[in-house]
C-alpha cells in the first residue's frame, strides 16, 4: 500500500526563541484503518503491507488526533516500524508534538 506523504511547514520555536520552519512528513493512522474503524487484524495487515521507506531520512509526525479510537500499542507499532528509516519521529499534531525518536546518525 503506497500512501502519498503529506508534508506541512510548521513554525517551531527554537531554544533561543527564533521561529524556524519545520517540514514534517505526516503519517495519519486513520489512513491504515478499514472504513475508519480500528480492527486489529486489518490494521496489522495494513501495517505489514505499508511502504515505510517513503519516510526515509524525513522528519515524521505521527498524527495523534484521529477521528477513530486507536489503542496505544498501534502507535508504538508504527513508531517501531519508522525507527528503521526516519530521521526523527514526533507524536501529536503540527503545532503541539513531542519527539519520541531521534536517529543518532
- Position 41 scores a pLDDT of 96
Q: Which residues of 64-100 are buried (b: 16+ CB within 10 A; e: fewer)?
A: bebeeebeeebbeebbebbeebbbbbbbeebeebeeb
pLDDT in tens, 36-91: 899 999 999 999 999 999 999 999 999 998 888 999 999 999 999 999 999 999 99
- Per-residue confidence at 6, pLDDT binned at 50, 70, 90? low
> For residue 104, what pLDDT is reported?
85
Give residue 10's pLDDT.
53
Instruction: Among 15-19, 26-30, 89-93, name the one with the lowest average pLDDT.
Output: 15-19
Q: What pLDDT was estimated at residue 49?
A: 96
Q: Where are the domains of the chain?
A: 6-102
Output the pLDDT for position 67: 82
Amino acid 9: pLDDT: 57
For residue 35, what pLDDT band results from cuts at 50, 70 and 90? confident
Amino acid at each position: 500500500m503506497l500512501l502519498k506523504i503529506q508534508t506541512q511547514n510548521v513554525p517551531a520555536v527554537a531554544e533561543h526563541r527564533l521561529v524556524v520552519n519545520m517540514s514534517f512528513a505526516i503519517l495519519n493512522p486513520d489512513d491504515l484503518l478499514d472504513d475508519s474503524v480500528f480492527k486489529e487484524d486489518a490494521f496489522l495487515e495494513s501495517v505489514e503491507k505499508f511502504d515505510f521507506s517513503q519516510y526515509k531520512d524525513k522528519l515524521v509526525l505521527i498524527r495523534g488526533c484521529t477521528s477513530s479510537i486507536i489503542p496505544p500499542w498501534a502507535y508504538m507499532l508504527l513508531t517501531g516500524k519508522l525507527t528503521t528509516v526516519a530521521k526523527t519521529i514526533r507524536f501529536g499534531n503540527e503545532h503541539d508534538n513531542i519527539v519520541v525518536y531521534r536517529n543518532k546518525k
